[in-house]
């Protein structure tokens, strides 16, 4: 599986016949420095962790341009369908769906999920993490926006993720110290990739705290530049 970080919490996964985009916030994302057409080329799936605009991002446009199937919680699916989304697969926390080369499970996450318009915050279901199980391969835990939580122990025991995408930017998610503590406390990852940092001024500008917190662990910390790739 080839993973490309597109900045913030946006990722591209290439494996088998699948091209999976996670939280594809590209337009307006100051940390996305790539070519949009190349980033979304061949997309077969879009997986969303929650309904905030810095995660939903370009989803509707990408789905219209590529025909990619959008997989996310039921409330967010219906909201996007009302805006014209045609190809979608609704789920909810704890559920698992088969997507061909892989399965997706929605886990809990400690955050919020809403769209703000007309001066009102509109709830869009619960925030989630994603367990992406490549058949015969990687088990990737995309934590979504979250704090550490006891559920992580159950996620580790049951799903046995081998790799993870970990939010570390602080203020709206775990900071680097807390994220490293959670990874070391609950999991035995092969590789972790930090995300949700260095995008806006309110977030930590580097992954240094997380890298320092993981020092001495058997887990490899991969810190790609925006547009960089990691082989999982």
pLDDT tens for the chain, 232 residues long, are: 999 999 999 999 999 999 999 999 999 999 999 999 999 999 999 999 999 999 999 999 999 999 999 999 999 999 999 999 999 999 999 999 999 999 999 999 999 999 998 999 999 999 999 999 999 999 999 999 999 999 999 999 999 999 999 999 999 999 999 999 999 999 999 999 999 999 999 999 999 999 999 999 999 999 999 999 999 9
The answer to whether residue 232 sits within a structural domain is no
Main-chain dihedrals φ then ψ at residue 227, nearest 5 degrees: 90, -5
The answer to whether residue 230 sits within a structural domain is no
Rounded-to-integer distance, Cα 130 and Cα 227, Å: 21
Instruction: Return the pLDDT at 65.
Output: 98
Instruction: Return the pLDDT at 182.
Output: 98
The answer to whether residue 221 sits within a structural domain is yes
The angle at the Cα of 142, spanning 140 to 144, to the nearest 5 degrees, equals 170
The answer to whether residue 130 sits within a structural domain is yes
Range of the domain at 196: 2-225
Taking CA atoms, 116 is separated from 81, 124, 144, 194, in Å, by: 17, 10, 19, 27
The answer to whether residue 170 sits within a structural domain is yes
Find the CATH number of the domain harbouring 127: 3.60.15.10
Instruction: Return the pLDDT at 69.
Output: 98
Instruction: Return the pLDDT at 29.
Output: 98
The answer to whether residue 231 sits within a structural domain is no
Instruction: Return the pLDDT at 3.
Output: 98
Q: What's the domain count of the chain?
A: 1
Taking CA atoms, 163 is separated from 12, 67, 140, 141, in Å, by: 15, 28, 5, 6
Instruction: Return the pLDDT at 211.
Output: 98
The answer to whether residue 41 sits within a structural domain is yes
Instruction: Return the pLDDT at 49.
Output: 99
Rounded-to-integer distance, Cα 226 and Cα 55, Å: 16
The answer to whether residue 129 sits within a structural domain is yes
Instruction: Return the pLDDT at 91.
Output: 98
pTM surpassing 0.95? yes
């Amino acid at each position: 599986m080839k993973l490309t970080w597109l900045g913030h919490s946006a990722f591209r996964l290439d494996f088998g016949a699948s091209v999976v985009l996670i939280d594809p916030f590209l337009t307006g994302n100051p940390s996305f420095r790539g070519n949009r057409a190349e980033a979304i080329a061949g997309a077969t799936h879009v997986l969303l962790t929650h309904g905030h605009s810095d995660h939903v991002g370009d989803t509707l446009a990408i789905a219209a341009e590529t025909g990619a199937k959008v997989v996310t919680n039921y409330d967010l699916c219906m909201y996007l369908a009302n805006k014209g989304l045609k190809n979608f697969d609704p789920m909810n926390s704890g559920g698992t769906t088969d997507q061909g080369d892989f399965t997706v499970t929605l886990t809990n996450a400690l955050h919020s999920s809403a769209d703000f318009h007309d001066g009102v915050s509109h709830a869009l279901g619960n925030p989630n993490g994603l367990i992406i199980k490549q058949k015969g391969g990687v088990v990737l835990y995309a934590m979504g926006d979250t704090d550490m939580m006891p559920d992580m122990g159950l996620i580790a025991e049951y799903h046995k993720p081998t790799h993870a995408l970990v939010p570390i930017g602080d203020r709206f998610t775990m900071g680097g110290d807390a994220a490293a503590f959670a990874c070391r406390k609950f999991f035995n990852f092969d590789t972790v990739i930090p995300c949700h940092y260095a995008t806006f001024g309110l977030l930590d500008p580097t992954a240094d705290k997380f890298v320092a917190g993981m020092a001495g662990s058997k887990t490899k910390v991969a810190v790609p530049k925006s547009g960089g790739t990691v082989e999982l």
